[in-house]
Structure 1
């Protein structure tokens, strides 16, 4: 491809949000009752249906091209995949000592510091199989709420395959009599992911994989902790890149798969790690078999845009410039300045590229979801929609579209 060739973005959007929304008050109250076992699953489902109709309309009103269900059916962003697959066993009270990564993984280290003795997790006790769909019914409902012409803009988010492995390490993630190696474990997980992705694709869906793990490899505290624990962090990073690629391989050319990398987004907008992308950029951008990288860039914790120089010409970077962690409203002018900085960094890449191509490889978004857990971040619904409105207006002024 010529460095100044036109780049075709699939699908054609410029302003994005990562996926999760604050629960509208009615759903928030119903979820609270459900968590306290004072509400049935049927009652909760009805409240979710109503809330999803509401936020779809609001996304359309604010001018967002991409539509999600806001993850409103989940209590936490990673719910769905692991707890649905055959071979996976939910352990509601597993000893915290089995969270071996507590010596270095940022959010596990906090669990240790909080003095937790046990926590819920999932352990692989048998061969992994997808015996039923996971998000397909959710997508079908979402699809019913938009015009046929807009179905191509819907995306479903799903947790990375490495989520539980990075907590426990190889020997405590899966039964060693079932899987002899990480490759065997991730290969079967990949088969399950590909089956789910294929069924969603056949219905017209695009996919976003949510993965905080990669940004942990940007954190100096984690790297030094891994070295002290005798863990080969470069080999583990390679393992997690392979795990994603097993899930995305052999996909149709018109299926867009993106990966969102963040530094934590827990209750109250808490983050877990910090560090720029320089440590991982060359490997991640060049070797991950995805089309789009959703990158957190709302604070100094994320570093500068220099690592974008490694972005290949056939990939897209979505800059998470708008924070979901507090109500401070960004301005269109601020976003335009930061996009221009990112363009300058891309133009210095290898291969070098002209301004037109560099700009065409970028989009803008929120840095994360507004509610990775159902309780949500310390912003109001009004704050949420104002921030998305700023994204849309900035996209219009920068690219002449949304």
Structure 2
């Protein structure tokens, strides 16, 4: 596979991860829908109006990439497994989940008995799209020349597997091993990516918090105590992602977003990227890495020295977990620290090259789950405006 060229636009210098706070009318509509007091059609009308509003908000603050805020989703990965033939949604005993998975541990601690999840009991087939219709609606809201700036985010292929591991994820009479399982998932993802591309999509972001979980000492220890090989599982997940992104067109940007938890302002893991950076940056077949960097729990910028010259790192320097506003000076200082770290690697990278490989963003979305984070719509707007202002100072664009 020949190396791909450096992709900068998209992403743009100032980015956000994708999910946005639900406007009040949609929030109330979702409450009614979950209480079975509102039809799916009524909810969709509220979603349509809310998406129009968040598209306009992104224009107003100067964010050039456009998302629908994931406003049609209850949680960030909705739309993949629930649309794939071969998967069924069900409530399962919490014991089917691995206790050491960072976002599962709190369920054990709180006494949760069951968890909503999926099980693969048939051959995986993509018989209907994940997000193509969502993209078409979003496309209808922007000028033709701006369609290329739309970003679609989707959950990672390993999200359910990392909760349960093999025998609790798929029927062993259907798939004998993880390679077979992820091979078919890869076919489904590639079909979705191809149809999105045919409709004009040029930036797809895969949200994969699992990679950050491998930075967590508690998870690594838990896996080893459970007889699991962390490095082998990490390799399995890199392969699963690469099956999805394989063979994409040159002008389609594929990115991965990683964080340590963001559900309603909570985080689930800590640990530096140093434990995974070399393999992740060099083996994962994506153009762009969206990296959480809003607090010390993500470690320092030293791992960025391993970033190849043809890839982009988007530094998540602005938090979505609390309303306090970062400063432009602080953001600029941290970008310069990242440049320093990148120039210490063995890539022979100049400061100008390093700066050209960086962008800035929020550390995660504002609403990984529909209930949102402990920030308001006004807080959200101010943080996006801050990103744009900081990008203009640092890069002049």
TM-score range, shorter chain: over 0.9
1: CA distance between counterparts of 2:285 and 2:9? 15
Deviations 1:19-47 (A, max 9, x none): 00000011011011111111000000000
State the secondary structure of the residue aligned to 1:179. Answer: coil
Residue 222 of structure 1 corresponds to which residue in structure 2? Answer: 219
95, 117, 126: which one aligns with 1:97: 95
Alignment of 1:44-59 (within 5 A): 44-59=43-58
Residues 7, 357 of structure 1: 8 Å contact kept: no
195, 199, 213: which one aligns with 1:199: 195
Residues 7, 312 of structure 2: 8 Å contact kept: no
State the secondary structure of the residue aligned to 1:320. Answer: strand
Residue 26 of structure 2 corresponds to which residue in structure 1? Answer: 27
Alignment of 1:262-277 (within 5 A): 262-267=259-264, 269-277=265-273
State the secondary structure of the residue aligned to 2:153. Answer: strand
TM-score, normalising length: structure 2: 0.98
2: CA distance between counterparts of 1:13 and 1:260? 15
Residue 67 of structure 1 corresponds to which residue in structure 2? Answer: 66
Residue 352 of structure 1 corresponds to which residue in structure 2? Answer: 348
1: CA distance between counterparts of 2:298 and 2:258? 11
2: CA distance between counterparts of 1:399 and 1:367? 20
Unpaired segments ≥5 residues, structure 1: 1-5
Residues 319, 362 of structure 2: 8 Å contact kept: yes
Deviations 1:252-285 (A, max 9, x none): 1111000000000112x00000101000000100
Deviations 1:87-144 (A, max 9, x none): 00111x2111111x11x11111111111111111100000000001110000000001
- How far residue 352 of structure 1 moved from its aligned partner, in angstroms, is 2.1
Alignment of 1:322-401 (within 5 A): 322-401=318-397
- How far residue 12 of structure 1 moved from its aligned partner, in angstroms, is 5.8
Deviations 1:285-324 (A, max 9, x none): 0000000000000000000000000000000000000000
Residue 232 of structure 1 corresponds to which residue in structure 2? Answer: 229
2: CA distance between counterparts of 1:251 and 1:117? 42
State the secondary structure of the residue aligned to 2:124. Answer: strand
2: CA distance between counterparts of 1:329 and 1:274? 22
The answer on 1:161 being equivalent to 2:176 is: no
2: CA distance between counterparts of 1:210 and 1:349? 27
Task: Report how many residues are paired.
Answer: 392
Residue 289 of structure 1 corresponds to which residue in structure 2? Answer: 285
2: CA distance between counterparts of 1:308 and 1:13? 19
Residue 15 of structure 1 corresponds to which residue in structure 2? Answer: 14
TM-score, normalising length: structure 1: 0.96
Deviations 1:54-91 (A, max 9, x none): 00000000000100000000011010000100000111
The answer on 1:248 being equivalent to 2:245 is: yes
State the secondary structure of the residue aligned to 1:198. Answer: helix
Unpaired segments ≥5 residues, structure 2: none
Computed over aligned residues only, the root mean square deviation of the Cα atoms, in angstroms, reads 0.9
State the secondary structure of the residue aligned to 1:106. Answer: coil
Residue 170 of structure 1 corresponds to which residue in structure 2? Answer: 166
State the secondary structure of the residue aligned to 2:104. Answer: helix
2: CA distance between counterparts of 1:55 and 1:319? 23
1: CA distance between counterparts of 2:11 and 2:307? 19
The answer on 1:121 being equivalent to 2:120 is: no
Residues 291, 315 of structure 2: 8 Å contact kept: yes
User: Which of 105-114 and 246-255 deviates more?
Assistant: 105-114
Distance 1:265 1:182, change over 3 A: same
State the secondary structure of the residue aligned to 1:87. Answer: strand
Q: Which runs of 4+ in 1 moved over 6 A?
A: none
The answer on 1:185 being equivalent to 2:192 is: no
Residues 19, 71 of structure 2: 8 Å contact kept: yes
2: CA distance between counterparts of 1:385 and 1:11? 21
2: CA distance between counterparts of 1:134 and 1:312? 31
Residue 76 of structure 1 corresponds to which residue in structure 2? Answer: 75
- How far residue 11 of structure 1 moved from its aligned partner, in angstroms, is 2.2
